[in-house]
Amino acid sequence: MKKRIGILTGGGDAPGLNGIIESVVRSLAGADFEVIGIEDGFEGVFESRTVSLTAASVAGVHQRAGTMLGSSNKSSTQGRVEEFQKKFAQLKLEGLIAVGGDGTFQSLSRVIQGLKIIGVPKTIDNDLAGTDVTFGFDTACAVVAESIDALRSTAEAHKRVFVVETMGRTAGWIALGGGLASYADAILIPERPFSRADLLAFLKKKQASGQRGFMLVASEGVAAENEMASIAFKVEGSHQKERYGGFSETLARWIEDETGWESRHMVLGHLQRARHPTTTDRFLTLNMGVEAAKMVREGDWNKAVVYRDGRVTRAPLQDLMKPARLVEPDHRWVKHAQELGIFI
């Protein structure tokens, strides 16, 4: 009799989720296992909504962003542990492959007793502990870099400053990675509160030099020294309720007022999660899916598939539940930016 393996995708989507699904299902296809997909993260467990996955039904999904199983960043096991365990038992699974971020793994940590789980870390923000990189991050950086490259043409045509706001919550990885890849003029990240006076002096120097356009990348959670980050609204029921936003608009107005350099802002928003995955993210998810399937075959449960020191490997599941991995203020990428004369 075939062993039944479940797979679910939880939290905000990230390009590469479909790659994990295709890779896991195709690797496990055969005589010993059947794979079922749980729909919409934990909601699918509570509501017993599943779909049978075969090598044929997943073929080709790796190239699409989003997740063919659906996801939810509001469903949680909080206050529903017994209900979860009962519903989960009804699925008659040998084990579960959970692809998610901090909210998903925190939710799982409440119900993990007696379950067999393999965790696969996911977030475009790149801030999960336990892994050197998360899939979706490279694709998000590609969106940022391509957008800055494109916007630079109109900035130069009109002699304007462009403030481009990226996602990332309290982590500046996307702004830093995308800003470096496009050689932006300034990169503002939450881990390095910036001095308004220093930024103005930098802008004025560039203006005086005759530079026509100026590209500034700002992570949504950034703030100037002694100021608070700009929270746009809160989502009740979400693992992290705050949604950051609005900083780029106020910064663009301030820059124009202070320097006279005409300024515009652009919020890249969910476009950073919606692009088809880059080749780097495809390789990463292919490798992670193959490894997760290998762990299933070996019965090596309650571990995570992570990327460390240049390769996909296994780690304790608990490693994914540690506090967020932020950019160290003197990280080597920060130093690269400084060496290039970028304001950071």
Annotated catalytic sites, by residue?
125
CB of 199 to ligand F6P, least distance (A): 23
Which token pair is 142?
A: 């590609």
Neighbours of 194 (CB within 10 A): 20
Cβ contact 334:176 at 8 Å? yes
Q: Applying CB under 6 A, does 73 fall inside the site for ligand F6P?
A: yes
**Torsion sign over Cα 19, 23, 24, 30:** positive
If the CB atoms of residues 213 and 277 are measured against ligand F6P, the closer one turns out to be: 277
Cβ contacts of residue 306 below 8 Å, gap of 6+?
A: 121, 130, 131, 132, 312, 313, 314, 315, 319, 320
Q: Which stretch binds ligand F6P (CB under 6 A): 59-67, 80-88, 162-170, 194-202?
A: 162-170
User: Can you give the C-alpha Rg of the chain in angstroms?
Assistant: 22
CB of 167 to ligand F6P, least distance (A): 3
**Which residues, 216 to 235, sit near ligand F6P by CB under 6 A?**
220, 235
CB of 7 to ligand F6P, least distance (A): 20
If the CB atoms of residues 21 and 171 are measured against ligand F6P, the closer one turns out to be: 171
CA–CA separation, 97 and 90 (whole Å)? 17
Letters for 92-131 (x = contact with ligand F6P by CB under 6 A, - = none) are: -------------------------------xxx------
Q: Tell which residue, 294, 238, 280, has the closest CA to residue 118.
A: 294
CB of 125 to ligand F6P, least distance (A): 5
**Torsion sign over Cα 133, 137, 138, 139:** positive
Kindly tell me which residue out of 244, 247, 333, 343 binds ligand F6P, with binding defined by CB under 6 A. Answer: 244
Cβ contacts of residue 340 below 8 Å, gap of 6+?
A: 180, 183
Q: Applying CB under 6 A, does 327 fall inside the site for ligand F6P?
A: no
Kindly tell me which residue out of 12, 70, 130, 178 binds ligand F6P, with binding defined by CB under 6 A. Answer: 12
Positions in the binding site for ligand F6P (CB under 6 A): 12, 73, 123-125, 167-169, 220, 235, 243-244, 273
